[in-house]
Amino acid sequence: MFWQRDAKVIQDVDAIKRLNKIRYKAFKNMTKVREPEGEFFRMLLNLSSLELLILEALKH
């Protein structure tokens, strides 16, 4: 079942790309927003990948 494993790897890569986009947006926002919003984005950057995935899933 190599094709199943490959599909999983592709999904993981897509997830990582999405996470990086979120992190980049958060970083951009963090640099231009004043407190307390900036604090939220700083917290977001400290989240683990799993936590960010959960946040992303909750948005949809």
Whole-number Cα distances in Å, 6 to 19, 24, 49: 20, 27, 21
pTM, two decimals, is 0.37
Q: Structurally, how many domains does the chain consist of?
A: 1
Q: Convert 18-54 to b/e letters by CB count within 10 Å (16 or more is b).
A: ebeebbeebeeebeeeeeeeeeebeebeebeeeebbe
Q: 10-41, pLDDT tens digit by residue?
A: 677 788 888 888 888 877 776 665 555 666 66
Q: The domain containing residue 43 runs over which residues?
A: 2-59
